[in-house]
A and B are shown apart, each in its own frame.
Chain A
């Protein structure tokens, strides 16, 4: 059943292709029932999951590689599939009113969105790492397509490219990490890998695998310093930003970290990396968010910051693994509960805030904070949604964000007692940074609400007269944001059925069988330190909001100076320019240069092998005695060859080459090769005649006016080749480990083939195929010569004289 569920979005996406482009009604209505139905389907699974069951569905795909499409629905996956389908349905509903029916590419929009939905369901349901990776990259690709939906805009293409490069970079690192896990465990199944968790920690590949997988998770979930793609992805249509870049895709990394926590938790590297990266992203994102003037950019940095919060909570929660089996494990696992609760809350309020921004953009024509103001009375419903969303984001009562913020504070305060890694001081840092980040979060949440809706209307800066959005556009954010209120008042609605089984699937093996985590979130805990921290956040936050215009650090105009973005742009530019320069430097277009590379490589490679190889001997014992006659012939041949480079005229050069060739003929005679001598003489004669026939048409051989720096490298390389070949010849003659097979030819030539001239018998009988193709070579060469001389494109080439 899970397979069908996972496949349905893809099937519908394929069917969308067959729908007529122009419909009488909006295409989104066709899409809407699917996520809604899937949401209801997953809701019915809650009781089974709550009682500790898992839905497992497996189809064999590539059994020889250990890759099967195994889908598992457990507590952790359930939260994610509900988010994906639920918010998916609301986003589709919102997009129906947001995107014009006639606007171009609306069909593609829904096809990409359905592809994304299916891929995301696949990511959170897959039990097989390779299948998970496949779906993971599919989310990257569909996200790329959606960001560049308005592909005629330069910024959209830039943002899509950037997010693609960064997330695929991380995805590939993750792929490598997955394969390391496979090498260690012999399986791609997450459940089977987790079952071997304790036995892997000493493996040399364990830490590299962890780092590579974290790289994938951090890039996808926009953790520092890989967060830079997210603000640029805001060029996507707002429903996409709401769905992909706040509620679902950016949580894929969170999901991966949570999913692999049973494997890696208990490693101090994991604890520090996850929690400190998250914490730094939290404070950095919230600081940057204050400085933005674009509403979507503000929300993007806010998303980065909140993702950091969830990530750091997952890191803190992994501390529980150090105390497996004791009461303290439950104590530290509180952080995981907080992470999951905030995950849900964040999806709820961030989704609705994006939709609110979309409405403002839709109704006023701008998202610029400097142009907005005074919309409170004009857009009361939108304002209410924005207030609830922003206050929930800031962690104010009575909204659900308050509860998760309190739990966050509890977790960072608890972690102070975690001294197993003997780093007492650093543990104190957690609450301080967490508190500071909360203050900043409070400030940008207030900016979001009061700079947009408060103050005076600046009608002269707006293109449209703002008014309240139509009902359809308001429906989704209102539904979403009411959840923030409901979850705040009745937190057990989510904590008992959803979070408890999810915590159980993250912290496997911490509980005695049959026990539950007893997750219960209360609205009011009494006068705890967390309450005083929240009061402090409000006080300092209000002061900061009042005075932030005077603080230079928070200067909005200065927010354009983003070092990380410039570093990214610079490195992309540098890579491109560097490769071009490198290629230009060695691909000169000059034949001679390429020949120089080839010959130098040949010399270096061959000489290096000759030097390193100890077995090569230069034995001289088998050499034939030197005789005067042959020596003289060799000397004449060499003299003739020497004369060629120095020849002053063409005829001389040709004749010297011919002379060298005739000396070779003589050598063949002396070395008892009559057939060779015959052939060589004929061919040398024909060649010389050919050369002499042609040379009249060739230019005068100019005395080469090549400068010394041209000649010298040529000479060095040429000498190198000559010396190398001499050494190779000597080395090859010195050692002959095998008997030659020529005895066979000499013995059997007459018996088997009936010929006494062994060379000819070899050519036409024993190795006749060589001859066949040699004839073909000659045939092809003559055809080509004929073609060269007789065929030409009339227009291209000048006529021969």
Chain B
């Protein structure tokens, strides 16, 4: 299972990076979003999968590692904040500059 997850994370990274390298602002924002999914799944996978029940104390003998879950939860919220901000930034820059092509938002050299 971990092997599959590792490959899946690799693919998510590939698509995320490919989108980030493109010209359109919207695609870049979506790319970061996919990249974030990759990172979260990587964090979860690295702690080991299916080693017990959910980390809510009850009658089970073993539980899965709760620490990565806490970390991921924090990360989800932060990346949501950042993505929302990016998105509004893209919206505003399109409104102000009339383009969403990243290369045409360059500052003039002179």
**A483-497 contact mask (Cβ, 8 Å, vs B): 1 or 0:** 000000000000000
List the A side residues contacting B46 at CB < 8 Å. 729, 732-733
How near does chain A come to B85, taking the closest CB pair, in angstroms? 5
List the B side residues contacting A630 at CB < 8 Å. 1, 4
List the B side residues contacting A622 at CB < 8 Å. 2, 48
**A743-765 contact mask (Cβ, 8 Å, vs B): 1 or 0:** 00110011000001111001100
Tell me the bound Cα distance from A762 to B74 in angstroms: 11
**B75-109 contact mask (Cβ, 8 Å, vs A): 1 or 0:** 01110111111011111101110011011001101
Given known A722-B14, A745-B67, A750-B57, contact A650–B26 (CB-CB < 8 A): yes
Q: Does A518 contact B (CB under 8 A)?
A: no
Is the Cβ of B67 less than 8 Å from the Cβ of A740?
yes
Contact of B57 among A590, A714, A756, A771 (CB under 8 A): A756
Within 8 A of A (CB), among B21-48: 21-27, 30, 33-34, 37-38, 40-42, 44-48
List the A side residues contacting B6 at CB < 8 Å. 726, 729-730, 733
Is the Cβ of A742 less than 8 Å from the Cβ of B67?
yes
List the B side residues contacting A704 at CB < 8 Å. 22-24
Q: Does A18 contact B (CB under 8 A)?
A: no
Q: Does A325 contact B (CB under 8 A)?
A: no
Is the Cβ of A722 less than 8 Å from the Cβ of B11?
yes
List the B side residues contacting A519 at CB < 8 Å. none
Is the Cβ of B33 less than 8 Å from the Cβ of A623?
no
Tell me the bound Cα distance from A682 to B72 in angstroms: 15
Tell me the bound Cα distance from A119 to B27 in angstroms: 64
Given known A679-B76, A719-B14, contact A756–B58 (CB-CB < 8 A): yes
Q: Does A479 contact B (CB under 8 A)?
A: no
Is the Cβ of A730 less than 8 Å from the Cβ of B88?
no
List the A side residues contacting B20 at CB < 8 Å. 595
Within 8 A of B (CB), among A387-403: none
Q: Does A770 contact B (CB under 8 A)?
A: yes
**A768-793 contact mask (Cβ, 8 Å, vs B): 1 or 0:** 00110010011011101100110000
Tell me the bound Cα distance from A342 to B50 in angstroms: 92
Tell me the bound Cα distance from A717 to B87 in angstroms: 25
Tell me the bound Cα distance from A450 to B58 in angstroms: 113
Is the Cβ of B17 less than 8 Å from the Cβ of A718?
yes
Contact of B44 among A671, A702, A719 (CB under 8 A): A671
User: Chain A's interface: helix, strand, loop or mixed, by majority?
Assistant: helix
List the A side residues contacting B3 at CB < 8 Å. 620, 623, 730
List the A side residues contacting B30 at CB < 8 Å. 644, 653-654, 657
Which size class do A's interface residues fall under?
A: 35 or more
- Of the listed stretches A224-232, A308-316, A685-693, chain B binds A685-693
**A727-744 contact mask (Cβ, 8 Å, vs B): 1 or 0:** 001101100000011100
Tell me the bound Cα distance from A697 to B85 in angstroms: 16
Is the Cβ of B14 less than 8 Å from the Cβ of A749?
no
Contact of A759 among B69, B81, B88, B106 (CB under 8 A): B69
Contact of A625 among B1, B10, B33 (CB under 8 A): B1
Is the Cβ of B56 less than 8 Å from the Cβ of A729?
no
Tell me the bound Cα distance from A674 to B45 in angstroms: 15
Contact of B8 among A637, A657, A674 (CB under 8 A): A637
List the A side residues contacting B5 at CB < 8 Å. 634, 729
Tell me the bound Cα distance from A704 to B20 in angstroms: 14
How near does chain A come to B81, taking the closest CB pair, in angstroms? 4
Tell me the bound Cα distance from A262 to B109 in angstroms: 59
Is the Cβ of A592 less than 8 Å from the Cβ of B67?
no
Is the Cβ of A671 less than 8 Å from the Cβ of B64?
yes
How near does chain A come to B22, taking the closest CB pair, in angstroms? 6
Contact of B106 among A590, A599, A623, A690 (CB under 8 A): A590
Q: Smallest CB-CB separation from A686: which chain B residue?
A: B80
List the A side residues contacting B42 at CB < 8 Å. 725, 729
- Of the listed stretches A67-75, A209-217, A660-668, chain B binds A660-668
12 additional contacts (CB under 8 A) given A664-B40, A664-B41, A774-B74: A622-B2, A638-B12, A668-B44, A672-B50, A672-B53, A687-B80, A729-B10, A732-B46, A745-B67, A757-B56, A770-B70, A782-B81
Top 7 nearest A-B pairs (CB, nearest first) are A722-B14, A726-B10, A781-B81, A718-B18, A758-B66, A756-B57, A722-B10
Provide a sorted-by-A list of 13 A–B residue pairs whose CB atoms are within 8 angstroms: A591-B102, A592-B102, A641-B12, A644-B19, A657-B34, A660-B12, A667-B44, A676-B72, A719-B14, A726-B6, A729-B6, A762-B70, A785-B84
